[in-house]
Amino acid sequence: MSTPDVAVPAMEPEDTDNENLPPLLRRPNPVPDPLPLKSLPPVRRALVANPKSRLLDNDAASVVTSGSVDPPHLRAFAEEQKAGDDIVNLLASKPVAGGELTAVPIHRRYLDMGVLPDFVLNQRWGHLQRTAMDIAQPESPPTEYETLIDEGSGQPLPILSVRLKDRHALADAVKESMRQTFEAEGGENDYTDSVLQQGVKEPMTLFIVRVCYADDSIDTFLVTGDGNSRLVSLWLARTGGDLDAAAAACVATVIGPLNRPGGHRTADDRAARRTVSEMANRVRRGLAEPHITEATQREGHSLTFPATVIVGAWSEDGKPLEDLVAARDEILANLHVHVRAWAGGAQSAQGMHRVYRHAAREGWVTQQTRRILGSSLGVQALQDHLKLPAHRLWSSAVHQHTVLAAPHAWRLNDLIKQEFGMGKADRKRIGGHLAPLALSAYRSSETIEQAMRTFSDGGTITDWVWKAPWQLTQGDSAHDVLDEVLHRALDGDELAIAELTVLGGTAAILDGYSTRERGSKEGITRASSSTPYRVGPVQLLTLLSKTQGGLRMLHSIARAHVAADDTVRPKQFHTQAREYNGRQVTEGDPVIDKAGAQETIEYEWDLVYAGDPAAAEAAIEENKARLRGAQGGTGGADDSELAEDVRLRRRLDAAVTDALKAIRGLVRMTQHRGREVLGSPETVDALRERLQKVDTFLARYGPIRTDGLITDLDEDEDDEA
């Protein structure tokens, strides 16, 4: 059952108060002053006594009742009503998996009293935030909601809990949340104009949050579950549209003084009520004027908003719901299915968080493992809790092991199918949903988007990895562990092959040596943007994992990734017994160049070529033939048969194309080896001078355009940079 909004006084047709308002503007509603604090205890007692919300403690009940525009209205719903011989509970029920949430029906609340944006996790950008596992640490320590547990009874309460250092940390989190919300989706979440015209009409869903500070003091607030954008827009409307001013006003008004130790005080509540009373008086006086001013419009439409507050959480057997966080996420996911779609990565991340929380609740993974999977702990937790090397490569491997190979992997497989509505879980869909969290330790990487796409194309999930009982080798040294895994893999241990495929394959994906099937163009020369033939990551890793040389390359890629040192480069190995550079080589031999040095892996081309050298040679010949056929239709005729001008134009085009490919490859290498790969300054100057001559001749002697189009002679400057 829902309650009506505060009634708007009826306006007669001949009333002229609105004559100077644009036709779309709605008059703000006159709002009463907040009731004195001394009149609120009966409302709070009724809320705590209600069977559906009886688990609320005094602080939680206070924050629900104190910010209501009409607290007696809440009391009427919180008290049990008799209908004949039956007891009627008028609190609303919201079904969730495994139980239900109880909510106070829709009512109006004061913006200034106890309401904050969702400052821990926003559903739209949580999958983009840096985690504690990332080498580029987040500016502030990662925080997460937990279900508050009552210290006396040990039972869960319908209150979210979060730990922060102090009020400064809370203020920083609120400001960041407001900034992220404002900037999300190109600024399309800014509803300030709508608020100024109409106010907020759609109710927000609020949750009670207990903030625990390092000095053991606490604060209790309401935070938006659904409605972050509307809340931020209310503050923007109040403060004139400046985000910094809006965030500062929200912090100063709701949180209060930041340098003061301890939590919220009664004096803060009284001061807030006085401020709201003054504002309500100004709005009422402004509404009595013949013409409504901008100030009246701003304050009137931002003074209150409609909301519903979650005050209870119960399982199907009538016991307190153990995981309020999962229930909260489910409520929000359902709200946003038809309202505004999330980015795919956000949906996958939130879904996998719910899967992991459920698995931890059932005992299929430990709580410490769940925190590692959520990347709320740093890499040292890998060693402290799982005895794995303290490197973020293993954080990704833990995700893959948990979902694909752990003792309860089949249970998680069922959870994933249920969570994402899949009739059958295949490699690509599992990889796509797993990617945002499996690669969450690498969100600061410039190549993370490409790696995510590759994971969504199957990633490392080869037949070796798919639902086989492989394990992650324990140890404190990443290099020693990789060496041990390689040794067992070369001896034919299939579980070690699976483990090496995951570790080396993940490193290859992250370092750009393996992309999705459509990620590169087929070519005829070794380059950064081409491969001899197209092959997906799963097929490529399958080819490599079946050969001694391929296993050695995966091991070498993983070692180089862990070393993160420009002097440590992954090495090439032969994957077939064949003749190479005039000598016979066997599978597993290192690839030696004419100078006697072992060649390094520079491009995806190197891995694709090594995956199947015979297929690569055949594909190159096909690509050459196709290219010859596309250039002039000569069907591969010798250049000597062509006219002199045609032959020279082809030479010029081929030379420029080769030059561009070469410079792009060298620029890519500068990321690992520095600018010295381009040669000495004198060499670079000489090259630039020669290229300038080509440009000068083309500009001076090239045909003159007669269609009025002006060509920018510097349009390729970016390619040269």
Residue 720: the pLDDT is 36
Mean pLDDT confidence for 337-361 = 74
Residue 362: the pLDDT is 87
Residue 383: the pLDDT is 95
Residue 471: the pLDDT is 95
Q: How many angstroms separate the CA atoms of 667 and 662, rounded?
A: 9
Q: How many angstroms separate the CA atoms of 715 and 717, rounded?
A: 6
Q: How many angstroms separate the CA atoms of 357 and 21, rounded?
A: 52
Does residue 75 contact residue 283 with C-beta atoms inside 8 Å?
no
The contacts of residue 459 (CB under 8 Å, 6+ apart) are: 427, 431, 434, 435, 438, 505, 506, 509, 537, 538
650 compared with 122, residue with greater pLDDT = 650
Chain-centroid distance, C-alpha 643: 58
Using the predicted structure, report yes or no on whether residue 341 has a pLDDT greater than 80.
Answer: no
Mean pLDDT confidence for 456-464 = 91
Residue 305: the pLDDT is 94
Q: How many angstroms separate the CA atoms of 223 and 551, rounded?
A: 51
Does residue 573 contact residue 591 with C-beta atoms inside 8 Å?
yes
Question: Which pair of structure tokens corresponds to residue 172?
Answer: 């920083």
Nearest-CA neighbor of 151 among 198, 75, 212?
Answer: 212
Residue 339: the pLDDT is 37
Residue 247: the pLDDT is 93
Using the predicted structure, report yes or no on whether residue 712 has a pLDDT greater than 80.
Answer: no
Using the predicted structure, report yes or no on whether residue 541 has a pLDDT greater than 80.
Answer: yes
Residue 440: the pLDDT is 92
Lowest mean pLDDT among 128-137, 583-592, 611-620: 128-137
Beta-carbon count within 10 A of 523 CB: 19
For 28, half-sphere exposure in the C-beta direction (CA atoms, 13 angstrom radius) is: 31
Residue 344: the pLDDT is 67
H/E run at residue 315: strand 304-315
Q: How many angstroms separate the CA atoms of 111 and 117, rounded?
A: 11
Residues in the chain: 721
Residue 121: the pLDDT is 59
The separation between the first and the last C-alpha atoms of the chain, rounded to the nearest angstrom, is 66
DSSP 3-state of 297: helix
Question: Which pair of structure tokens corresponds to residue 570?
Answer: 């992954």
Residue 637: the pLDDT is 44
Nearest-CA neighbor of 456 among 478, 484, 427?
Answer: 427
The string of pLDDT tens digits covering residues 473-525 is 999 999 999 999 999 999 999 999 999 999 999 999 999 998 876 666 777 88
**What's the mean pLDDT when you consider all of the chain?**
84
Nearest-CA neighbor of 117 among 22, 248, 25, 232?
Answer: 232
DSSP state of 251: I
Q: How many angstroms separate the CA atoms of 462 and 539, rounded?
A: 8
DSSP 3-state of 215: coil
CA of 205: how far to CAs of 93, 223, 327, 447, 644, in Å? Answer: 13, 8, 13, 37, 76
Q: How many angstroms separate the CA atoms of 576 and 121, rounded?
A: 51
Mean pLDDT confidence for 373-400 = 93
Q: How confident is the model at residue 331 (pLDDT cuts 50, 70, 90)?
A: confident
Q: Percent of the chain beyond pLDDT 90?
A: 41
Q: Which of 100-104, 132-136, 641-645 has the highest mean pLDDT?
A: 100-104
The string of pLDDT tens digits covering residues 226-252 is 888 899 999 999 998 789 999 999 999
Q: How many angstroms separate the CA atoms of 575 and 701, rounded?
A: 51
Strand-strand pairing, 521-522 and 583-585: unpaired
Strand-strand pairing, 115-116 and 218-226: parallel
Q: Percent of the chain beyond pLDDT 70?
A: 86
Using the predicted structure, report yes or no on whether residue 17 has a pLDDT greater than 50.
Answer: no
Using the predicted structure, report yes or no on whether residue 384 has a pLDDT greater than 80.
Answer: yes
The string of pLDDT tens digits covering residues 644-695 is 776 777 778 778 878 888 888 788 777 777 787 788 887 888 888 888 888 8
682 compared with 440, residue with greater pLDDT = 440
Using the predicted structure, report yes or no on whether residue 61 has a pLDDT greater than 90.
Answer: yes
Residue 518: the pLDDT is 66
Does residue 467 contact residue 439 with C-beta atoms inside 8 Å?
no
Q: How many angstroms separate the CA atoms of 370 and 514, rounded?
A: 29
Mean pLDDT confidence for 327-341 = 64
Using the predicted structure, report yes or no on whether residue 420 has a pLDDT greater than 90.
Answer: no
- Torsion sign across C-alpha atoms 525, 527, 529, 535: positive
